[in-house]
Each structure stands twice: as structure tokens, then as C-alpha cells.
Structure 1
Amino acid sequence: MPAPDRTSLDAIVLAARKILETDGLTCVTMQAVAARVGVRAPSLYKRVRNRDELIRLVAEATLRDLTGRLHSTSNAQDLLNGLRVFAKESPAAFQLVMTPDPGAPVASSDVNIASSAGILRVASDLAGEASALEAARTLTAWATGFISMELNGRFRLGGDVDRAWEFGLTRIIRAVGMPSPS
């Protein structure tokens, strides 16, 4: 069966992203994606070399989507809240790009660097240009850890998770924005 026009690379990646969210990363196979776009699996190989490349393309599309959503944010609170909203809407994609399993294909360095521009800008505004990378890493690590625990149901002591998020968010932003001790 020839690859019809509807099996564009964009359609293939979109199908893989949908499978990722509904069924998980292990179910993102060339066969499953082919079925989703209406062709036989060998037809996909005209556009995607193998499953690893497909997963990398999914990770890159996810980062581009996330970057686009957060592009206009002007402060750390809005940016991290936007990350949390994205994670709740696309938990499997969030985990693929923020906490990939060992050996999982990841986005290219170029896409990772481009996707970091927003957090670096916000972190620079918050902590100064000289500390922007460290501030960005701190904010990202805190938010990713909290969100990952939330997505995985790890907050089991009761209480209001949204309130805990706000508590941590306020304090981590304040701490990152404080001058470093000399």
C-alpha cells in the first residue's frame, strides 16, 4: 500500500503523541502509529527511520508545543503554572520530555536549547544574568519534581495539593530571586 498524502510526518507525529497520552510510551510502536494514520507499518519508514526516531520527534514536538504555550509568559509564577497546566493536560508527554526513562530517545540538543529560552529569560529577570542558568535549573527542578509527584499520586498525606503548590512556588521564586550570600 503506497503512503498516501495523509501520512505526512506531522500526521505521524500527531498520531504517536495521541497514542502516547492514551496508552503510554510502550504502546507507541510503528504498527500502532501506522494503524492510527491508516497505512501499513512499512509505509512509515519512508518518513521515519525507526521507533527511536519517532519517539525523538514526539519529544521535539512536545517541547515546541510547550515552548509556544509559555513563550509570552513574563514571570516565573506564570511560567511554572503554565508548565503545570501542560503537564496535567499531557502527562505522558510531560514525563517524556522532563523525566524520560533511562535509554529513552530524547529531543535533539538544538530543540532543548531553544525550548529553554523562556525559563532562562524569566530566571535572568529574577536572579540576574550571571545566575540565570542556575536559577532556571532550580526552578525547573523544583517544578518538575512537584509535578511528577502530583501526576504519580505521590502526595498521600492529605491536604490541599494546590495550596502546597502555591506555598512552594512562592517560596522557591522568592529564594531564587534573593541575592547570593557573599
Structure 2
Amino acid sequence: MPTPERTTLPAIVAAARDLLEEGGPTKVSMQAVAERVGVRAPSLYKRVRDRDALLQLVAEATVDDLGTALAASDHTLAGLARAYRSFAHTHPEGFRHLYASSPDLAPLQRASAPVLQAAREAVGEQRALDAARFVTAWATGFVSMELAGAFRLGGDVDAAFEYGLTQLQAALRRS
């Protein structure tokens, strides 16, 4: 008689994501994930090749969740940037992990679809990819600095973010 399943791949990935958010990538170990899902570490290897593969699955699940958050926005470039920022604040370690890993292309394409569509509407088909990269790069830089505590000169960071969005929109209208 086969041994009953005591955990699933989605449960393993969810546990790894929770551990990542609790303490960064160093907290994600096969042993810690196994304890979290209630099995012994060797049992994980039935579902996941190794820690690197697990971290890859975490990145892909995070991209999928980011895509869901972006799809739920108002689909303007400003709304998408706000949703992106909100996602990063809700999942700061997952957000950082996205840029420290290389998720598969398919989840990235799904997640970026709303941004590309909004960019098409803002600047047209010919420059849509450039505009999407411009907005994403600015938002990623801003949010990464914000999460790192780099804005220490005072002032209202939320207002600065909105100012940046206004300037981006004006620049794209001029292009």
C-alpha cells in the first residue's frame, strides 16, 4: 500500500514563501520548510529537487501573485505602479527575491501583460515596451530604495512617489 501524501507542492512553496518573508532567503532551508509542513526534510525531495529549485518555485509563485495584484489594479500606468508598490510593501522579501532570481519567462509575461497594455495605451504600440520598462525601472528603483530605508532626508515618501508618477506620465505624454 502506498504511503499517503502528507504534504503537497503548493504547501511546500507556501511554507517557503512564509519563511522568506519572516527572515529572508537564509531562513529558507529544506529543514525549516519540512518542519513548517509537518514532514521530515527527506520527504521534500519527492516534490522538489533541492533548495535552489524551491527558491525558483518561490520566485515563480511570487511573480504569479504580483501579476494578480497588477491585474486587479485600474490598469493605468499610475495605478499599476501603485499596485506594484503595494505588493512590494506586503511582500518585501518576495519582491527582493524576484530581482535576485530568474523566474521562468511565462509567469513574467503574464505579470507584465497589464503594464504593456497600459504602456500601449499611453504611447502606442511602437514604444510600448520602452515605456513599460521605463515605468517599471523607476518604480523598482523607488520601491527598492524605500524598502531599504534609503529615504532618510525627511519629507513625505508617499508624496514623492506620487510626484514621480506625475513626472513619468508627463514625460510619456511628451514622447
Distance in 2 (alpha carbons) for counterparts of 1:3 and 1:90: 35
Identity across the alignment (%)? 52
Secondary structure of 1:130's partner?
coil
Amino acid at match of 2:78: Q
Distance 1:31 1:79 in 2: 37
Matched to 2:63, the amino acid is L
Aligned residues of 2:6 and 2:39 also touching (Cα < 8 A)? no
In structure 2, how many angstroms separate the alpha carbons of the residues matched to 1:18 and 1:176? 38
Shift of 1:112: 1.6
1:129-177 deviations in whole A, cap 9, x for unaligned?
Answer: 1101100100000000000000000011111111111100111122123
Cα distance, 1:4 vs structure 2: 5.0
CA distance in 1, matches of 2:24, 2:72: 30
Amino acid at match of 2:91: S
Give 5+ residue unaligned stretches, structure 1.
Answer: none
In 2, the alpha carbon distance for the partners of 1:160 and 1:112 equals 32
1-side partners of 2:3 and 2:31: how far apart?
14
Aligned counterpart, 2:86:
85
Task: Quote the residue 1:39 is aligned against.
Answer: 39
Aligned to 1:123: 119
The number of residues matched between the two structures is: 173
Give the corresponding residue for 2:154.
158
Q: 1:26 to 1:169 in 2, by over 3 A?
A: same
What is the aligned partner in structure 2 of residue 147 from structure 1?
143
- Residues 63 and 107 in structure 2, CA contact (< 8 A), matched pair in contact too: yes
Alignment pair present for 1:94 and 2:95: yes
CA distance in 1, matches of 2:69, 2:149: 25
* TM-score under structure 1 length normalisation: 0.90
CA offset digits 1:10-42 (Å, max 9, x no partner)? 000000000000011111111110010011110
Residue-by-residue CA offset, 1:36-81 (whole Å, 9 max, x unaligned): 0011110000000111110110011011111112114320111100
- Give the Å deviation of 1:3: 7.2
Tell me which stretches of 4 or more aligned residues in structure 1 moved more than 4 Å: none
Q: Which runs of no fewer than 5 residues in structure 2 stay unpaired? A: none
Alignment RMSD: 1.4
Query: Separation in 2 of the partners of 1:59 and 1:137?
Result: 20
